[in-house]
């Protein structure tokens, strides 16, 4: 896999950890979500505007997480987003949480595009994909 399409820095706070100062497993999902949100924003696709202007929602359909090593209180993490493929209403991304370049967690995330009015799947618009992937429908 090549360079990540996007990276976002996130600090570990008390609220992210258990009593021992180790990041609680569910906190990683928040780190991943924030990175995907900032990735969309950096590509010019604010989620609030997508809903209001285009009537679209981007929601997680599935997620597979591999926990490799723990993060701890005050760690400065890099969370990456790399789009892998897009087809119809689905967009698949590889994500990672890194500490000093060392992977702590890897994730495969499938995002679905839904119509906000009825939560039914709808094809991801070409204009949206153009800003996220070099060639929609093909591996990056």
Q: Please state, in angstroms and rounded to a whole number, the distance separating the CA atoms of residues 14 and 119.
A: 35
For the question of residue 18 being annotated catalytic, the response is yes
Question: Which DSSP string corresponds to the chain?
Answer: --S-SEEEEEE--GGGB-TTSBBPTTHHHHHHHHHHHHHHHHTT--HHHHHHHH-EEEEEEEEEEEE-S--BTT-EEEEEEEEEEEETTEEEEEEEEEETTEEEEEEEEEEEEEETTT--B-PPPHHHHHHH-SSTTS--
Helical packing angle, 27-42 and 47-54, nearest 10°: 60
Catalytic residue among 16, 18, 54, 100: 18
Residues serving a catalytic function are: 18
């Amino acid at each position: 896999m090549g360079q990540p399409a996007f990276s976002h820095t996130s600090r570990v706070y008390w609220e992210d950890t258990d009593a021992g100062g180790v990041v609680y497993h569910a906190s990683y999902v928040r780190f991943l979500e924030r990175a995907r949100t900032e990735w969309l924003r950096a590509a010019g696709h604010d989620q609030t505007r997508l809903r209001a202007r285009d009537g679209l929602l981007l929601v997680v359909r599935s997620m597979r997480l591999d926990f490799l090593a723990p993060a701890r209180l005050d760690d400065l993490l890099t969370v990456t987003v790399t789009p892998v493929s897009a087809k119809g209403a689905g967009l698949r991304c590889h994500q990672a949480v890194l500490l000093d370049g060392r992977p702590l967690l890897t994730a495969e995330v499938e995002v679905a595009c839904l119509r906000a009015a009825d939560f039914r799947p709808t094809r991801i618009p070409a204009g949206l994909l153009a800003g996220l992937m070099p060639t929609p429908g093909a591996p990056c």
